[in-house]
Amino acid sequence: MRLITHNMLQCPVKGCSKDNFPLRIEDAEIENADADFNPQFLKRMLDRIAWGALVQTSFSLGVAKLPESPGDPNDDEFLQTLHHVLLETRVKEGRMVCNGCGHVYPIREGIPNMLLQENEV
């Protein structure tokens, strides 16, 4: 799972609407995978990124340091850093934990298990 998609995830458990985002990542094994640099895509997505959550997550995982607020979308260095964090950083193993309801979503081979019990939907 790339960090761009982690930034879009919120806990889908029924009734969990407080502190359901971002899901806290624990015991993560991080993998870097090269991806084609696509400034057009990054600019398109910039408005959709929850910046505070991204800064917090990338800090907790010890990946590249991001500025406190989004940089200039025309600054190539900023876009390169953003590209690396969003699209080249993958969580391979570990788990995501919801700060609201405590649900644990295990991650195996890069694939989060989002299955819920019937009483959670």
Binding site for Zn ion (CB under 5 A): 11, 13, 16, 20, 98, 100-101, 103
Using the contact rule CB under 8 A, the part of the chain among 24-32, 39-47, 61-69, 73-81 near other proteins is 39-47
Q: Which of 96, 73, 107 is nearest to 7 (CA)?
A: 96
97 binds other proteins per the rule CB under 8 A: no
94 binds other proteins per the rule CB under 8 A: no
User: Taking a C-beta distance cutoff of 8 angstroms, is the pair 85, 66 a contact?
Assistant: yes
Distance, CA of 2 to CA of 91 (rounded, Å): 7
User: Taking a C-beta distance cutoff of 8 angstroms, is the pair 90, 5 a contact?
Assistant: no
Binding to other proteins (CB under 8 A) within 46-75 occurs at 48, 50
> Residue 13 gets which letter from DSSP?
S
Site for other proteins, rule CB under 8 A = 1-2, 4-5, 8-12, 21, 35, 38, 40-41, 44-45, 48, 50, 87, 109-116, 118, 120-121
